[in-house]
Amino acid sequence: MTEAAPRRGRRPGAPDTRAAILAAARELFAAQGYAGTSVRSIAAAAGVDGSLVHHYFGTKDDLFVAALQLPVDPRERLADVIALGPDGAAERLLRVFLSVWDDPEFQLPLVGLARNLLDPSGQRLLTEGFLPAILHPVGVAMGVERPEVRMPLVASQVIGLILMRYVLAVEPIASMPTDDVVAIFAPTLQRYFTGPLP
């Protein structure tokens, strides 16, 4: 009986393949940003064939969302916000956002993610990942004018709210009822969606 020759090349799919791809994706997205990271480079770092990345995660955007380890997929939650266009988008966005962040099941992992985004490596995930891969496409799909300008403005307001309400728990924002948060923040946020730009 002869011994089988050792396998060469990339390893085939296995139970730990998905985890290896995710680990490589997190590291590369954090180090190189979304635009600077290719599916091919993630596959190479994970030691797998590129087709396995697509098999497990679909698109690069899907892999990025999985790498963030979000308890919900923001693209699914924002579908109704997008469908109705930019008019009134601020109120719809805030209500979806608050319903997720105020949910005790989701709040702890989301606060942990928000804290990680304050670290230098996490900042690249936000500026070179979350904004171009998730938020910018929302603006494009919604049909806002100049989404490359408007969606970072939207993000600035939402991130500020996250920090004040959930991470730092600054009163009265931390315990403010949802309707009050929407009434106060929506007009400013709506200007970012549809107001005049300089």
The predicted-structure confidence for 10-60, as pLDDT tens digits, reads as follows: 444 456 888 899 888 878 876 776 777 899 999 999 999 989 898 998 888
CB 65 within 8 A of CB 134: yes
Ranges of each domain in the chain: 17-68, 74-194
Task: For residue 53, give the nearest of 71, 33, 77, 29 by alpha carbon.
Answer: 29
What architecture is the 74-194 domain classified under in CATH? Orthogonal Bundle (1.10)
Please, which residues have CB within 8 angstroms of residue 91's CB and are 6 or more apart in sequence? Answer: 182, 186, 190
Q: Which CATH superfamily is domain 17-68 in?
A: Homeodomain-like (1.10.10.60)
Please give the full DSSP string across 161-181, using - where no structure is assigned: HHIIIIIS--TTTTT--HHHH
pTM metric for this prediction: 0.68
pLDDT confidence of residue 176: 97
Q: How confident is the model at residue 2 (pLDDT cuts 50, 70, 90)?
A: very low
Task: For residue 60, give the nearest of 42, 87, 82, 83 by alpha carbon.
Answer: 42
Token pair for residue 148? 């490359």
Sole residue written with tokens 């139970």 = 15
pLDDT tens sequence across 81-129: 899 999 999 999 999 999 989 988 888 777 877 777 777 766 766 777 7
